[in-house]
Chains A and B, each alone.
Chain A
Amino acid sequence: ETGVTQSPTHLIKTRGQQVTLRCSSQSGHNTVSWYQQALGQGPQFIFQYYREEENGRGNFPPRFSGLQFPNYSSELNVNALELDDSALYLCASRGRENTEAFFGQGTRLTVV
């Protein structure tokens, strides 16, 4: 176990809806990154949060947004869901720079 937990594990949404995914970081970790992993592909970097501020973003549209809370838990929000948003969403947390990032087990999102 990595100490990084994500919820829910699975969910199904309808195209056009909004979704919020949650990540609880490992204790003491102040940096969290979110990734999207389409079936049969490698994870793609969405964005990173450090001390409640966005600290880098990949090639994802603004309808992908995030929040990080003072206890370092975080959320990924996706608006106006599209069928192509169906994927496994992973969060990874770490402590100090240059140390290992630990991944959660992911949330499997299906958009129908």
Chain B
Amino acid sequence: GENVEQHPSTLSVQEGDSAVIKCTYSDSASNYFPWYKQELGKGPQLIIDIRSNVGEKKDQRIAVTLNKTAKHFSLHITETQPEDSAVYFCAASKGYNTDKLIFGTGTRLQVFP
């Protein structure tokens, strides 16, 4: 079945630096790739997503890139702030299923002031 691998599992950066999280998926039929931020005691919150017909998408300090040939996608956060500290999950799904998601194992991002 579909599998999503995510690296690194933990990431520590200084405030103002950039952070990059990478994911690899196995099912070539996947075409929807969201990224979620989960803070302690809360459910995952969608921060950005990309579909297979697009190679890159940007929203202010957050960007996602997709390489369908290599089956990997990445989250880039620039000018990190302490409030960016959280666990980040990548996910993948087929078709228009924004909610039948296969999640990665998560990356704990710590931004130090």
Please count the residue pairs between chain A and chain B whose beta carbons lie under 8 angstroms apart in the complex: 61
Per-residue 0/1 for B96-108: is the Cβ within 8 Å of any A Cβ (1 yes, 0 no)? 1111111111100
Q: Using Cβ atoms and an 8 Å threshold, which residues of chain A touch B41?
A: 105
- CB of A81 closer than 8 Å to a CB of B: no
Residues of A within 8 Å of B, CB-based: how many? 27
* Chain B contact surface mostly: loop
Contact size range, B:
20 to 34
Tell me the B4-43 residues at the A interface (CB within 8 Å).
4, 6, 36, 41-43
Q: Are A94 and B103 in contact, CB atoms less than 8 angstroms apart?
A: no
Q: Offer 9 A-B interface pairs, CB within 8 angstroms, sorted by A.
A: A43-B101, A56-B97, A90-B43, A92-B43, A99-B98, A102-B46, A103-B44, A104-B43, A105-B43
Contacts A59-B1, A94-B98, A98-B98 hold; do A42 and B43 have CB atoms under 8 A apart?
no
Q: Using Cβ atoms and an 8 Å threshold, which residues of chain B touch A65?
A: none
